[in-house]
Amino acid sequence: MKFHQIFKAAMHEPKKLAAFRLLKIGKVFQYVFLFITLFTVISFIRYVAGDAVLFESSPELLEQGELVGGLIYPIAFTLQLVISTLYIFLRISVFAYVGIVLLRLMKRRGEYRFMWNTAAIAVTVPILATIALDFFPVMSDYSMIITSLVHVGYIAAAAKYYPKLAK
């Protein structure tokens, strides 16, 4: 399955979202890393443009930044990539556990590895929402709550299509 097909299905087809639990883990990782790269590139562009301040600068930190010079950009990009990767994979893992709880409540059958795949593909809309909400400073306080609710909603919609427990 091609990435654009996964992307389209992840946006509005919960039945296919549930079926993505059967994708090979390598394909799921590639898909997630596309979003990690997008997230990192946008964040880095905002950093370079001076739109986003990552840390409060002390005079000592500014002095060290001037000493490092142009090396600050590859270091900043690498740090942003590592932090984005950690954040997104941690988010997927936590929401996979939430998905397991939802499966139990819905009396559906599923394992963590399958729910992890579903949660990884279901992160499509929440990541796009996070990127969009990041441009509105007023919404920054609520963006985590909003995207978390959206993520749980997508996982719950997909969980309805998991097989039922045998009696």
- 129: its two tokens: 């929402």
Contact 88, 112 (CB under 8 A): no
What the block records as the tokens of 167 is: 């009696």
If you average pLDDT over each of 22-31, 140-149, 154-163, which comes out highest?
Answer: 154-163
- 39 within 8 A of 88, measured Cβ to Cβ: yes
Q: Per-residue pLDDT tens for 95-124?
A: 999 999 999 999 999 899 999 999 999 999
56: confidence class by pLDDT, cuts 50, 70, 90:
low
The domain spans of the chain are 15-159
What's residue 150's pLDDT? 94
- Predicted model pTM: 0.84
State the average pLDDT over residues 28-41: 91
- In the prediction, which pLDDT does 51 show? 67
Burial 56-85 (b: 16+ CB within 10 A, else e): eeeeeeeeeeeeeeeeeeeebbeebbeebb
* DSSP per-residue string spanning 136-147: -GGGTTTHHHHH
**Segment 93-97 long-range contacts (CB within 8 Å, at least 24 positions apart):** 93/119, 95/119, 95/122, 95/123, 95/148, 95/151, 95/152, 95/155, 96/120
